[in-house]
Amino acid sequence: YSSPYKPKRQWPPDMSKLSPKHQFRLERKYRRRAALKYARPKWTKFTKLVQWFSIGFVLIYAMLFMEWDEKGSPFDEVRKAVFGGLKEAFSTPAPPRPVREA
């Protein structure tokens, strides 16, 4: 690599000749630049969404569908409420009864 322009400073600097304060500043600057360069926000967001989806799926499966043992599960009341609500929401209403005249 050759460039017609001379660099202002030699890189990488000789750390033994720098003061501890200046060494720390350079390390902090390098850490920040490396973090920005290797950041992958889309990948991070995707993995977080997949993790939360899998956690939610396992919890919902354990509460509503998993057979625990013969005694029953601790979520039987929740199951009854959820499936009762779903049945009520998606079933056809009962036909009206005829009115009796007295």
Q: Is the peptide bond before 96 cis (omega within 30 degrees of 0)?
A: no
Q: Which pLDDT belongs to residue 11?
A: 80
Alpha helices by DSSP H, listed for the chain, are 20-37, 41-64, 76-90
Instruction: Please tell me the predicted confidence (pLDDT) of residue 27.
Output: 94
Q: What is the pLDDT of residue 93?
A: 81
pTM metric for this prediction: 0.57
Averages of pLDDT over each 10 residues, the chain, 102 residues = 84 90 95 94 97 98 88 88 93 85 74
d(CA 37, CA 54): 29
Q: Which two tokens stand for residue 10?
A: 């030699």
